[in-house]
Copies of this chain bind each other. A is one copy, B any other.
Amino acid sequence: MRKEYMMTPGPTPVPSEILLSQARPMFHHRTPAFTELLVSIEEGLKYVFQTKNDVLIFASSGTGVMESSIANLLSSGDKVICCSNGKFGDRLIKINEAYGTDIVKLEYDWDQVVKPEDIKRELDANPDVKAVYVVQSETSTGILNDVRAIGRIVRDYDAVLVVDSITGIGAVECKTDEWNLDIVMTGSQKGLMMPPGLACVAVSDKAWAAAEKSKLPKFYFSWKKAADSLHKPAPTTPFTPPVSLIVGLGEAIKLMRREGLENIIKRHAVLAEAARQGLEAMGLKLFAPVEGRGSAVTPVWVPDGVDGGKFVKLLKEKYGITIAGGQDHLKGRIFRIGHLGYFDKFDIMTTLAGVEMTLLELGYPITLGIGIQAAERVFMEN
């Protein structure tokens, strides 16, 4: 018998309640039963996104809604500011390039946070900027950008603030309305504890006004079509929805309401703190700077003398623990421990214990149990 542990920042483990709910016999989506489910999910998503805005649901990966935030807001040649300090910031740039917008790039090293004052400077220098794109929680590095501070700046300009919170929502604080975040996006396989396949986007009034002027082509990802369907007397979706995933999302919302958003976010903060303390106690160096430490995923430098690729492989093969390595130029140089969604204390213990044993086996000098000890202290204090 060998158990498998998926400690990755997406897909993430899915609670059995949600897994099994997807086995519910198929039913038609143009029915009162589906409408009732959709309405309750919509209310639940507003709760999770902390917004009064519509939260539109699409059958797609997170990248699909990222693309929708360009296709629905902009016209060819429109000027945008794209902030990037990781792979998903880079993806926002790439999608903008595919759509022919005029991009002001704010690029940072991957272990740096996006500087809100840089956005202010570029907004002042480019009064015709239509939208600012930023990732709140960078899955590729675990770094958390301060979208609250960015929201405080962008609200005073005409530009729409677009926040990729795919690894953020349900793991870190993301107050859509209070922080003036016009667009907030997430994917199902993250804080929502779901299988991948659904993505959601909250759209503010300021964003709707911009969307009205957009001339880029869209159809499947049309926000207007999705919102029009949602506002019908019997709310629905414009195209056949992924019924089994929608049923699963209904279960996910129930679980999240039961725990309460405040508790969920606190749980993630404690899990992340325990992971950090545990890893630092092992003598490892955290990748993220103090001001950019999020609760969704903890990135760590692979210590000198250890082969990063071998480390991730051995952890998987010997202990059944799947963690993520580095992406792009960080491949082999960092590893990332996911703890967003359906995670509890002992998932952190499991991972830390596996990391300790694997590091020792690969010749890194470590006192076994030292990371666990530090993590236990964090949990006992919280």
> Which residues of A are at the interface with B, using a C-beta cutoff of 8 A?
4, 6, 8, 10-14, 16, 19-20, 22-29, 31, 59-64, 67, 71, 94-95, 98-100, 187, 189, 195-197, 216-221, 239-245, 248, 322
Contact = CB atoms under 8 A, between A and B. Distances in A.
Contact of A239 (B24, B61, B241): B61
Contacts of A24: 19
Contacts of A19: 22-26, 244
A232 to B, nearest CB: 15
A219 B23 contact: no
A27 B14 contact: no
A63 B218 CA distance: 12
A27 B4 contact: yes
A64 B197 CA distance: 13
A255 B189 CA distance: 28
Contacts of A196: 29, 59, 240-243
Given A61-B240, A240-B10, A245-B242, A219 B25 contact: no
A221 B61 CA distance: 11
Nearest to A31: B322
A220 B23 CA distance: 28
Contacts of A216: 217
A221 B63 CA distance: 10
A322 B98 CA distance: 43
A94 B11 contact: no
Contacts of A4: 25, 27
Given A99-B217, A195-B245, A197-B242, 11 more contacts: A6-B27, A11-B243, A19-B23, A19-B25, A19-B244, A28-B322, A29-B196, A60-B64, A67-B219, A99-B219, A242-B242
A99 B220 CA distance: 12
Given A245-B242, A245-B245, A220 B26 contact: no
A225 to B, nearest CB: 10
Nearest to A237: B61
6 contacts: A11-B29, A28-B322, A59-B61, A59-B197, A60-B64, A217-B217
Contact of A14 (B25, B71, B95, B239): B25
B26 A195 contact: yes
A197 B199 CA distance: 12
Contacts of A248: 244
Nearest to A101: B217
Contacts of A100: 217
